[in-house]
Each structure stands twice: as C-alpha cells, then as structure tokens.
Structure 1
Amino acid sequence: MDIQTLLEWTDKQVLEKTGKHLDSLQESILQGIWEHQDYEKIAENNQRSYDHIKKEAWKLWQLLSDVFQEDIKKSNVRSILENKASSTIYNFVNSPHNNIRNHHVNVCRENNPYSENNLKKSSNFPDNDHLYPIINLTKAPELRCNYGRKLEISTLKEWLDNKTRLITIYGLTGIGKTALTLKLVSEIAPQFDYIIYRSLENIPQLIALKDDLK
C-alpha cells in the first residue's frame, strides 16, 4: 500500500469519527513516519521546531488511538494503520462475490482449480492438514487482467520445480512484475502450504517483517 492511499483512508476514518479532516502537518507527520524519518527530519522538512513536531505528533497519536481504539504511538502507527487499511480495503472475505475466502484464493467460481476435488486429485499438493493452500494476498494489488507471459511463467515454474529458494524479478516500473508474480501464484498455489504477499518497497526492517508475518 502506498502512503497516499493510506493517508486518504486514515483521513476518511478520522473524518467519520470526529467530523474533521487531518490537517497538513498531521499528514506530514504520518508521511514522515511512513518513510522512517525521525522527528528532527520531519521538523526540518516542515520548517518547524523539534519540540513543536513532537508535541503535535503526540496529539496525533492520541487522536488516532481514539479513532481506532488502539494504543497508537510512533513505533507502531505504521503497522497498525496499514493492517487496518488493508483489512478494510480488501475486505471481500465474506462477500458472496469475492475472489478470496478465508485467505484461500478462488480464482473463479466455475472450474475453480482450487476446488476440493481438484486439490485432492493433485499429486503435487503437499500431504498436510490444509484442505486449501493458505494464501494471504490482502496486501497485494488486484490483478485485473492477464497479458500472457506464458514463457516467463514457464521459466519461473521450472525454477521452482528445481527447488530454487530465492527468485528476483526486476525491471522498470510498470512493466508488469507484480502482475506476473500474482499470475504465477494463481497457477502454483496447490504446490505450497503457504503463500504470503508483502511489499518491500519501503525497505522494512527484518524484525518488523518477521513480526508482520506471524
């Protein structure tokens, strides 16, 4: 999730709760924390004093704590807001028209490759207690269309069959790296117990990433 989406969602929640929008300084503080800036850097960027930013940030954490009924502070505001926003934005779990049910991917209601019968028949499906592979794509963008990429998909599948532990897909922004990955996930899911999507765009610390995956 990008910072602009998060700010818009957070502002909407605050408006519904308090009748007021976030002001520009509050948004700047949230954006600074999102970008792993300290109060000194946020103060410099906004031409304010450190003490003023620290005071306004404390007020903001109190406001957000009231709105979301969580103990929000500088150290956890990003993870809490991102998790809540993702849960809301992608809250199709109980909808009869969704494509994700209980974190299990249903690519299509008809001819579903993850139907109970198909999974039981699959020789590649691991012998475990899961009827379905556990696939968490709540933080992934929606894949609206598929532009082929059969050769690339075939190559990636071959690497996975060869037990490759780390695969890097890189290239210019907008060429379809994420779409390729999500298309691959839709085809290989029965081979895995768990598939989890997380963005590393903002370079999260390893300990934070590990906590997020628990």
Structure 2
Amino acid sequence: MLKLTDDLVFAKTGQHLNDLQDKVVRGTIQGETYEKIAEDFHCNESYVRDIGAKLWHIFSESLGEEVNKSNLRSAMERLQVSLFSSHSLFLSNIAQESVQIRNINFCEKTRQPPDIPNSNSDYQQPPTEHHELSEMPELGVFYDRTSELETLQTCILQEHCRLITITGISGIGKTQLAVKFLQEIKHNFEYILWYNLDHASTFTEFQAELIELFDPNTDSELIPKNGKRLKPIKYLQKHRCLVVIDNIHNLFLSNQLAGQYQSEYEEFRYLFKQIEELSHQSCFLLIGWEQPIELAEIRSSNPKFKTLTIRGLETTAIAEFFREQELGEDEKLTPIIYHYQGNPLWLNIIANFIPEMEDFGDKIIENNPIFLPQSLKDNLQQQFNRLSPLEKQVILELVQQEQPVNLAQLLIRGQIPSSDLFNALQSLFRRCWLEKPDHFYCLSPVLRQYIIELNH
C-alpha cells in the first residue's frame, strides 16, 4: 500500500516520498493522529497537517476522488482492487502491455526499483534541484576516517542532532571529512546548502542564499537587512535540510578568547539559538578552528548538539601516503609522523620539501629534527594571530618548561591569576593548541618549535 502512495507522488511530482511524507502516510494508514506523528518525528503538529493536506491533494487529483486522512486506507485498498482486476485483464489479453487508471500508468511488467527506469523507457529522473553545493570544494586524496564518518552518520541520521561542530587545528582534514560525508548521505536530505564563510561574508548574504535554496524566485534585493524578520527557521521546520557552514572561525574576534562573536555577526548567534530552542527537522554542520562559545558550553546539557574534534590520521594511513611519495621506509618515517601529529597538510608540506633538499632531505628523515618550512610557518601564523594576549602568555609559560606540567605547577608559578589561567587553558583546548596527556599540559612538537623560533 505504501508503494502505491509513493508511485502516485512520483507520477505527479517526479520525486519519491521524503522521510516525513513517508511517516505521515505510514502513520495515517496505522491510524495514528497528527499529534503522534509530529511527536515521533520531532516537528510541529501544524507542519505535519500541512504535509498531510498536500499529500491528500495529490492523491485526490491522481485518483479522481476526494482523499483525506480518514479515508486514505480505504482509497488505497480500492486502488489495489482495481490493479488486481487490471492484472487479471492483462493475463487474458497478452497484447495489452499496461493498464491506465485515472491518468496513471501502472506497468504490468516486473517492477524495478523506483530510481531505476525500465530499459525501454526514455524517461530520465531529473537531477535534484535543491542541493546548492557550488562552494563545496572537491574531494582530494582522502585517507581513512572510518570512525569519524560513522560518528557523523550516527549523530545526523540516527540521533537527528540539530547542530554539530567539526573542530580541529588547521590542515587536519575537517573540510575534507565533511565533503566525504556529504557525498555519502546527501540523498537523505531534501535541501542542502554548503556556505563558505569568508571575511567578506555577511549574515544577510547567508540568509539570502538559504532562502533562495527554498524559494528560487525570491528577489534577494527585497530581503530586509534585519535577519530576524524573515525567520529562516520556518523553512528549516518545513523541510528536511542540511546546512554546512565552513570556516566558522571567521565569525569570531581575533586577540580574544575562542568563540567571541564580532559585532557584525551577532545575527548568527541569534540563528544558532533558534536552532537550539525551536523544534525542526534540519541540521547545521559548522566547520572551523573555533566553535561558538555558547555552543561549547551547552552541548553537555543538550543531546541534540555535538562536537567532533578531529585529530591526526592513524600511522598506517600516513605511511601509505609516504610510500606513494617514495620517501623511504616506514620505520624511518614514523618519528616524522609523530612530530607532525598526523596532520595531512603539514605532512604534505614536509613531503614536498624533502625531495627539494636532496641530501639534506635524507638527513631530515634520519635525524628526525622538527623542521618548519616557510609555508608551514605561514599556516601557523594565521592561527597564532587569533590568540588572545592571555593565551600567548600561557603558551610562553609552557614553552619554558622542558617537561609537561600539571595545573598545580602552573598555579604555583603565580605568573597568571587563577581565573585567567583557567579561561586561557580552556580556550586553547577549544582551539586544539594544547595537549593534556595524563593531566599534564604541553604543546605539540610542531607548535612548540614554532613558538621557540618566533621568540628568537
């Protein structure tokens, strides 16, 4: 019976039932109320009623009789009877290839899956028109991130999380992970927007792109400057949508603790608050060096908010990369992988640098020094410039210590007031600039070497 409703919708719209439409039809056939369907799908009852009304209109036009929530089951049963009778007629007249019922052709040949047209048909399913991915970068060489991909799939497709932040130091592979994930799950969303947040972006521009995704006929020049009026959340409540915002750190102030909004981006804070508080069926995926401070603070109390911190690649994955570059034996390369934290960008810089140094490159591998090519320094400088003076002071304290130190040792030194020290350590952790093995604080070898060279 559900297959028949999907056929009717596809014949009318060229699209199959989405997740919510499927739930409305199933629930109606099983005698569930709109309230129960909305509760199960975590959305507003009024929105479920609206979806139902649109479906009943499609079925009514297709079948030539009034179809509503109370008679959907009986209408589909009558259609099944008609199909059975038509099938009997087909068997008695082999020349008849198909039976037409109220403007819908139900082929009596063996059914194929809905998205695979019959081989003798010229029909091609139209491409999805609701995925705006023009700003999504191409997927380059992708190394194993099975665990991270499974985590994202669980959070978004099974737990229906509303907002997920992917954080990590520059070059660790956050964006590439998101691209790979999107390629695998995009069919689960009716609408998808990938938005690259650069320094010139504004909330009005972001809002215009989001609204245009849902309503291509909207004149962006008519969108009011005050983003609160249009309430993009209403679109996110009506549709199953995935919004990816890359380079989210560009929303925040430099020379301040992590996640402090620039004044011109306060509208994003308001939108994220709506995402947290209001019922909807969409998901925001935020990618960057930092995350909004309010999200970092509430995620422990809200199961619909998650943070995925990306670490370096496993040694086996990076060793495969080095073998492809023909840089040497795995045993010799392992210390380099450790020094550069399995960071794909950093290791790629080193891999390109070693052959250029000829004999000196071999000495780098043999002696395992921490070498910082200029392009790697430039990459680190961009992130270092965002640190607050307080964070820089803490980092200098750590660099002066030959061994990792615990919190008590830092407090005893008394160079920084305790409350400022706690705030700075927390902010550095959120930026992935600190490591904490066995409750001892330290910098990674690359960051430590960078700070040392910066101060000499």
- TM-score of the superposed pair, with normalisation by structure 1: 0.40
Higher relative CO (Cα under 8 Å, sequence separation at least 6) belongs to 1
